Amino acid sequence: MNRNYTVAIVGATGAVGVEMIKVLERRQFPVGKLVLLASARSAGKTLPFNGTTVTVEELTEDSFKGVDIALFSAGAGISRKFAPFAVKAGAVVVDNSSEFRMNPDVPLVVPEINGDDVKLHKGILANPNCTTAITLMALYPLHKAFGVKRVIASSYQAVSGTGAQALAELKAQVEAIVTGRPVEKNVYPHQIAFNVLPHVDVFLDSGYTKEEMKMQNEARRIMHLPAFTASVTCVRVPVFRAHSISVNAEFERPVSVEEARKVLTGVPGLKLVDDPAKNEYPLPLNCAETDDCQVGRIRLDCALENGLAFWVAGDQLLKGAALNAVQIAEKLIC
Ligand code: A2P
């Protein structure tokens, strides 16, 4: 379709919202009008877009008149309350929160994997959990080749996944420690600087956290694979930006490192970085602020049958959030 669209961003001043603005601009999404929405605290603030400035407005039930596409990233509560008003006004919602991800009427989409599911929407589409999306960028091509049965994984998640306050807390704690001042903590239950926390999101009765179960639950929907299982430990690490995941995957069919490397070469949105002899493997620092996820450290898993071990990293604010949301919007209009 050859037209321009009125696009709204709910949570435009947040860590993901700001990235959404930049991704729309960088990918030259056909934006006729950009509507930036946030809380009353931010109303009147201006943000740059395509060489102009756009004034942030307070989000209300009436914010969506004339909006074609509404990208939501202001938390599940805001999505629950305001997405229905956007749909009622005629907009299609792409929601970055967890609110609708398991709703069978809402397609959960990684465009490189199940882009055709976009067509099944009834007004709302969901963007997956960041760790899940990044993991699947490498796991799905391997699944197509070898048929995945189950994975055991541990994540190494950056503080920017928690938001701007967590970034500030890590910086402040590092400064306090190197200058010998007492460490203050507000965002996480423990010091994050020079530490790792095996705790992301709230604990469930099973002992897993909600974040840990997203990999199994969301991957089943995205890969159309209801029998897939995943045992995950999510860990917060003192990294500013980009998540990494160590994955051990068991497949139906025999695997080899050579074939796996071939399968993972030239995949859109994924870069193979796997030359251990030269100390080359994916690093969060190298993935920060880049669209492509990276995969490496590919080896035969010595404990699983038909198993591969690998390491995947990606910018959780981009492929894990803003980029994936804009890619869904691109699918909507093509
Ligand atoms: P604001 O900056 O005005 O608080 P983050 O995930 O980085 O914390 O960002 C959350 C985003 O959600 C911000 O843009 C924030 O706006 C927005 N937000 C939070 N609460 C509300 C609310 N009650 N109404 C509208 N937007 C909200």
What CATH number does residue 181 fall under? 3.30.360.10
Atom of ligand 1 nearest to the CA of 165: 8
* pLDDT > 90? residue 89: yes
Q: What is the DSSP letter of 187?
A: S
Average the pLDDT over 209-223 and give the result. Answer: 98
Whole-angstrom CA distances from 119 to 20, 114, 232 are 22, 10, 31
User: 98 and 241 share a domain?
Assistant: no
User: 106 and 221 share a domain?
Assistant: no
User: 140 and 74 share a domain?
Assistant: no
Residue 164 pLDDT: 83
Q: Is 234 a catalytic residue?
A: no
User: 98 and 201 share a domain?
Assistant: no
| Residue 258's pLDDT band (cuts 50, 70, 90) | very high
User: 293 and 182 share a domain?
Assistant: yes
What's the number of domains the chain is made of? 2
pLDDT tens digits, 139-170: 999 999 999 999 999 999 999 999 889 999 99
Q: What is the pTM of this model?
A: 0.97
Q: Phi and psi for 101 in degrees, rounded to 5? A: -60, -30
Q: For the CA atoms of 295, 114, 315, 34, what is the dihedral angle to 10 degrees?
A: 160
Residue nearest to atom 27 of ligand 1 (CA): 39
User: 213 and 270 share a domain?
Assistant: yes
Could you give the maximum distance between any two Cα atoms of the chain, in Å? 60
Q: Is 143 a catalytic residue?
A: no
User: 184 and 226 share a domain?
Assistant: yes
Atom of ligand 1 nearest to the CA of 12: 14
Residue 163 pLDDT: 87
Residue nearest to atom 4 of ligand 1 (CA): 39
User: 162 and 20 share a domain?
Assistant: no
* pLDDT > 80? residue 1: no
Q: What's the gap in Å between 108 CA and the centre of ligand 1?
A: 23
Instruction: Provide the residue type at 236 as one letter.
Output: R
User: 100 and 184 share a domain?
Assistant: no
User: What b/e string do you get for 80-107 counting C-beta neighbours within 10 Å, with b at 16 or more?
Assistant: eebbebbbebebbbbbbbbbbbeeeebb
CB of 110 closer than 8 Å to CB of 88: no
Q: What's the gap in Å between 42 CA and the centre of ligand 1?
A: 8
User: 58 is in which domain, residue-wise?
Assistant: 5-128+321-333
Q: What's the gap in Å between 99 CA and the centre of ligand 1?
A: 16
User: 198 and 311 share a domain?
Assistant: yes
Contacts of 277 (CB under 8 A, 6+ apart): none
Of 121, 243, 287, 293, catalytic = 243
Which CATH number do you get for residue 40?
3.40.50.720
What is the C-alpha to C-alpha distance for residues 321 and 17, in angstroms, rounded to an integer? 9
pLDDT tens digits, 11-33: 999 989 999 999 999 999 999 99
Of 92, 81, 76, the C-alpha closest to 59 is 81
Tokens encoding 261: 């490397």
User: 173 and 259 share a domain?
Assistant: yes
| Residue 183's pLDDT band (cuts 50, 70, 90) | very high
Contacts of 221 (CB under 8 A, 6+ apart): 101, 102, 108
User: 282 and 224 share a domain?
Assistant: yes
* pLDDT > 70? residue 2: no
Q: What's the gap in Å between 141 CA and the centre of ligand 1?
A: 36
